[in-house]
Amino acid sequence: MSKRKRYREMNEQELAKATKEYDAPNADPKPVPVPKAVRAAERRIRKAIMGRPKIGEGSKKVLITVEGSLLREADKFANRKGLSRSELIALGLRTVMHRTRRSA
């Protein structure tokens, strides 16, 4: 088995001969397939860093209608308290449900 010389170890003539196939105007090197293990690892990494972090059972998107001035007031309040709109709504739901359970 002959050991191929590294490009950085070649002289100018050897390098020109070794890379001649890439000098053509339509040079299209053959693609190298990505191993399954590497693809699986990439998928795991992308899944871990993409999207919102899962808390509890995860989150669901819901469409609700809120009067405009109430929404502006809620957004200002959430901003002052350092909360997102979603966090404020979740906190409100929990508070109302907790109070209802205690009074029932």
Closest CA to 78 of 91, 63, 62: 91
Contact 5, 14 (CB under 8 A): yes
Amino acid at 32: V
Per-residue pLDDT, 27: 62
Mean pLDDT of the 58-81 span: 93
Q: What's the CA gap between 72 and 52, in Å, rounded?
A: 24
Per-residue pLDDT, 52: 65
Backbone φ and ψ of 2, nearest 5°: -85, 140
Tens digit of each residue's pLDDT (9 = 90 or more) over 10-69: 999 999 998 888 887 776 777 889 999 999 999 988 887 776 666 777 788 899 999 999
Which structure tokens are listed for 84? 């997102």
CA 82 to chain centre: 24
Per-residue pLDDT, 71: 96
**Pairwise pLDDT comparison (46 vs 2), residue with the higher score:** 46
**Pairwise pLDDT comparison (2 vs 67), residue with the higher score:** 67
